[in-house]
Chains A and B, each alone.
Chain A
Amino acid sequence: MEAFSFRAVRTVSEALEVIREHPPNEVALMGGGTDLLIRERQKLVSFRVLLFLRSIPELSKIRLEMERGLTIGAAATLDEVANHFEIRRRYPMLSQAARSVASPQIRHKATIGGNLCLASRCWFYNRSPFWRAEYPRCRKASGGDQCYIVPKSRKGCFALQSGDTVGPLVALQAKVKLVSERGERLLDIENFFLGDGIEYLDLKPDEILTEVILPWPLTAGVFVKFRPQNNLDFATFTLSVIPPRNGSGSRIVVGSVANRPLRARKAETLLDQREVGVDVIAQQAAEELPLISFVRGSVEFKRRAIKAKLEEVLKDFVSSPSREN
């Protein structure tokens, strides 16, 4: 089997040229490669050309424009995002989320773009070919007609959104910039996730995610990563919460529990209105989310833990009035 070739380019237009030179799906984009290389070895993905984006200086830049917002180059590493002075100061929940990923070794290489686009994960999918051969009918792994996580489902894939920075970016109402030879697109990040474990992102084969754009922050939020153990484990869930400002704009985003980041919209409305207690809001959020039972916890357990953690967060907001910039 022929191995892939490694192309380190210096500009985005060079990158687009490489894409143009090859048939679709033969070119894979690499930020840190910390997930892509594993999936390549597990034969979940194959490509002829590995297009290295970290060699494009403009793609790693982080730029703050006063009163306008923050632009983060998609190839900035999680370490850079976590430690950037302005991100720590003005978007602390994003800094926190970036810092919570894996280990220093991973964060020194993995990029924000990669984390945002992190391929949906599942215990039955992210395995070696030998192991997967025993689950032949998985929709995602072998184009079959069954899901082993939700056996009763007739269609769709429930592999999980797993990038920890996704929740905060949704809560912060980020946009993503997608560039191709056909032009540029600016998407609200919520619309970037299509709600299926297979047709996962609104990212065309010839597109490159170049920037993550955050509006000027009005309220600092809170990020919580819940995992039974503190070590490298992927989260059971993440919470990204932004309190309301003048009765609107609150966000309660739960990540890593579904094939897309979930917003607890009814709970957000309750939070905006501030008419009921935090325990009611937390309970509403926990109940309205479509959760799946799996190894990391039954639905009941997840609901309980989400409610408990969210209540803690909301109590803090109530006791210290909303932190404004």
Chain B
Amino acid sequence: MSTILKFWVNDDPIELLVRDDETLLDVLRNRMLLTGTKRGCGEGQCGHCTVILNGKSVNSCLTLALEAQGGHVLTIEGLSEGERLHPIQQAYVEAGAVQCGYCAPGMILSIYSLLQENPCPNEEEIKEGIKGVICRCTGYYKVIEAVKRVSGGG
């Protein structure tokens, strides 16, 4: 069964014919070639597929594309403005939080979501806020530092 999906991805209005069982992740990566969003596990555990759907961070591997009908999806590609990094991305880079970078998009969008809900999180709240994304390279230390930098806290 296929349905026409009309939604916004970053700044663009999109209209696509999607299969009802297609995930948002597959539509973004395979159909729209927005490969910034990654697949790490397909089960909502690693968080590398995180996008912002209607203002809330979600695992796009566990989101059907049709759940975004009439809505808005923010991917990592939509966070920066051309060559200008979003402040979260800037802080992330400067703090040394990038190593292999595979979790960076998911992590940065998680931080985006966290700061929307809690602009000045303390260390515990930061850890709770990013726990949905697995990082294997950094031990999370410099990620936490990045959040502190951009939120002016810590």
Contact = CB atoms under 8 A, between A and B. Distances in A.
Chains A and B directly touch (beta carbon < 8 Å): yes
Interface of A: 2-6, 8, 32-34, 37-38, 41, 50, 52, 54, 79, 102-106, 108-109, 230-232
Contact of B114 (A54, A104, A106): A104
B132 A6 contact: no
Nearest to B69: A8
A38 B63 contact: no
A2 B20 CA distance: 11
A137 to B, nearest CB: 26
Contact of A33 (B43, B57, B64, B128): B64
Given A34-B59, A38-B62, A105-B57, A4 B20 contact: yes
B42 interface: yes
B47 interface: yes
A33 B62 contact: yes
Contacts of B144: none
Report the 6 A-B pairs with minimum CB-CB distance, sorted nearest first. A103-B132, A5-B1, A108-B56, A3-B21, A6-B20, A105-B132
Q: How large is the interface on B (under 10, 10 to 19, 20 to 34, 35 or more residues)?
A: 20 to 34
28 contacts: A3-B19, A4-B1, A4-B21, A5-B1, A6-B3, A6-B20, A6-B21, A32-B62, A33-B62, A34-B44, A34-B59, A38-B62, A52-B67, A54-B67, A102-B132, A103-B47, A104-B57, A104-B128, A104-B129, A104-B131, A104-B132, A105-B47, A105-B132, A106-B44, A106-B62, A108-B58, A109-B63, A232-B132
Interface in B19-56: 19-21, 23, 42-45, 47, 50, 53, 56
Contacts of A104: 57, 110, 113-114, 128-129, 131-132
Contacts of A38: 43-44, 62
Contact of A50 (B20, B113, B114, B131): B20
Contact of B56 (A37, A79, A230): A79
B58 A105 contact: yes
B66 interface: yes
Contact of A105 (B42, B59, B128): B59
Contacts of A5: 1, 20
Could you tell me the dominant secondary structure of chain B's interface residues? mixed
Given A4-B21, A6-B64, A232 B131 contact: yes
A105 to B, nearest CB: 4
Interface of B: 1, 3, 19-21, 23, 42-45, 47, 50, 53, 56-59, 62-64, 66-67, 69, 110, 113-114, 128-129, 131-133
Given A33-B67, A106-B132, 4 more contacts: A41-B42, A103-B132, A105-B59, A232-B131
A298 B138 CA distance: 34
B20 A33 contact: no
Contact of A231 (B3, B21, B62, B131): B131
Contacts of B44: 34, 38, 102, 105-106
A105 B64 contact: no
B131 A103 contact: yes
Contacts of A32: 62
B124 to A, nearest CB: 11
Contacts of A102: 44, 132
Contacts of A50: 20-21, 64
Given A33-B63, A37-B64, A6 B1 contact: yes
B93 to A, nearest CB: 23
A38 B56 CA distance: 21
A105 B60 CA distance: 9
A294 to B, nearest CB: 20
Contacts of A41: 42
A54 B58 CA distance: 15
Contacts of A4: 1, 20-21
Contacts of B1: 2-6
B65 to A, nearest CB: 9
A102 B1 CA distance: 32
Contacts of B62: 32-34, 37-38, 106, 109
A82 to B, nearest CB: 11
Contact of B20 (A3, A79, A230, A231): A3
A195 to B, nearest CB: 28
Contacts of A33: 62-64, 67
